[in-house]
Structure 1
């Protein structure tokens, strides 16, 4: 059974969690390279891109519309649980299968020691690291930048040690909430990333507040106004050119001031009872799946 998850040009914390969580929680040798069976784990990876003939076992994944909608009733899907109620509704499956994003299972694992030097932190979406000037914005605001492309162990240590996390990255919020680090949601500059937050929050009965995030570059400003993602072509080249130096500087300064203001907002956490409940349900679902596989072997 092969573990499948999204991998782009650079590593991304939320997706790379798959390599941290599943080998730790599943029996040794449970995962292999046999593509006739797929273990569909953490991330918005439910879609029609997965091989039609493969048997697909879903463990806390979500559907975000990045790919086409699959027919999960065609006999090749075995859904043990999904990220949230929006995914369950979209797939037309039992609402009871809406448990939580499986990154919550970090609560059942040994984790690296918290980095107590972090203080207030900001975690941009990994795409924003390339498109914006967040390193400079965080420096000006006196806030620690958490880089979603850094090794998972480092990011986990920083999130655990933070006094407060402002996060544009959804898995920053998911992990902070699971590990009980107060967090403030920042509305992703690219609008295509908004809905999946509501999916996850719905599973925790959490009224998530996504606060506006000021763009830190000409490119991000363009994306925020047009809703475009993907390759930026001409506007991307313009944003990195000398002619954009002054507008970029102004936007970065504004973004830094806004980050400082965001750090004064009321943070969020799901209730202790709810995070305990969904962790237990997710762990029971994984353990039940493992037992069923062992019994069938």
Structure 2
């Protein structure tokens, strides 16, 4: 049974969590390279891109509209639980299967010690690190930048050590909530990433308060205005040219002031009873799946 998850041209914290969570929680040798059976893990990866012939076992994944909508009732899907009620509704499966994103299972693992001297931190979506100027914004704001493309042990330690996490990356909030670090959600500048936040937060009964995020440069201002997410073409070249130096400086200082204002807002955390219950239900689903596989073999 092969673990499947999204892999882009750079590592991304939320997706790379698959390599931490499942080897730690599943029996040794449970996962292999047999593509006739797929273990569908953390991320918005439910879609028609999955091979039709393979048996697909879903463990806390979500549907976010990135790929086509599959018919999960065609006999090739075995859904143990999904990220939230919006995924369950879209797939037309029982709402009882809407437990939570399986990154919540970090709570059942030994994790790195908290990193010191983090204070308030900001975690951009990994795509915003390439498009934006967030290192400079965080420097101006006096806020720690958490880079979603860095090794997971580093990111986990920083989230654990933060007094407050402002995050554009959904798995920043998911992990912060699981580890009980107060967080503030920043609405992703690229609109295509919005729906999945409501899917996850609804599963934990969180009344999500998403705050606007000020763009950090000309390119992000263009993305905010148009809903287009690419860096290529005339606009991307112009945004990186000397002509954009002054407006980019303006946007960076404006975004830094905005981050400082966000850091003064009331953060969020799910209720302790809800996260304990969701963790127990997710762990029970994983254990039941493992037992069913052992019984078959």
Task: Write the distance in 1 (CA, Å) between the matches of 2:236 and 2:57.
Answer: 39
CA distance in 2, matches of 1:209, 1:43: 22
2:99 corresponding residue in structure 1 = 99
2-structure distance, mates of 1:249, 1:209: 29
Q: Deviations over 1:97-148 (max 9, x none)?
A: 0000000000000000001210000000000000010000000000000000
- For these two proteins, the number of residue pairs brought into alignment is 297
Please, which runs of 5 or more residues in structure 1 have no aligned partner? none
Q: In the alignment, which residue of structure 2 is the partner of 1:296?
A: 296
Q: Distance in 2 between matches of 1:228 and 1:55?
A: 35
SS in 1 for 2:176: helix
Report the 3-state secondary structure (helix = DSSP H, G, I; strand = E; otherwise coil) of the residue aligned with 2:64: coil
Please give the root-mean-square deviation of Cα atoms over the aligned residues, in Å: 0.6
Counterpart for residue 141 of structure 1: 141
SS at match of 2:72: coil
In the alignment, the residues of structure 2 paired with residue 172 and residue 233 of structure 1 have an alpha-carbon distance, to the nearest angstrom, of: 30
Q: What residue number does 1:16 align with?
A: 16
**Taking structure 1 as the reference length, what is the TM-score of the superposition?**
0.99
Asked whether the 8 Å contact 2:131–2:231 carries over to 1, the reply is: no
Q: Which residue of 2 aligns with 1:286?
A: 286
Instruction: Please report how far the alpha carbon of residue 234 of structure 1 lies from its aligned counterpart in structure 2 after TM superposition.
Output: 1.4
* Aligned equivalent of 2:6: 6
**Is this contact kept in 1: 2:44–2:64, CA < 8 A?**
yes
2:87 matched residue in structure 1: 87
Partner of 1:48: 48
The aligned counterpart of 2:234 is 234
Normalising by structure 2, report the TM-score: 0.99
1:276 pairs with 2:280: no
CA shift for structure 1 position 231:
4.7
Q: Structure 1: which 4+ aligned runs deviate by more than 4 Å?
A: none
Cα displacement (A) at 1:229: 1.7
Is it true that 1:169 corresponds to 2:203 in the alignment? no
What is the match of residue 222 of structure 1? 222
C-alpha displacement of 1:230: 3.5
Q: Tell me the secondary structure at the aligned position of residue 38 of structure 1.
A: strand
CA contact (8 A) 2:41 2:61 kept: yes
Partner of 1:197 in structure 2? 197
- 8 Å Cα contact 2:2-2:34 kept in structure 1: yes
For the residues of structure 2 that align with 1:94 and 1:116, how far apart are their CA atoms?
A: 43
Cα distance between partner residues in 1 of 2:244 and 2:58: 45
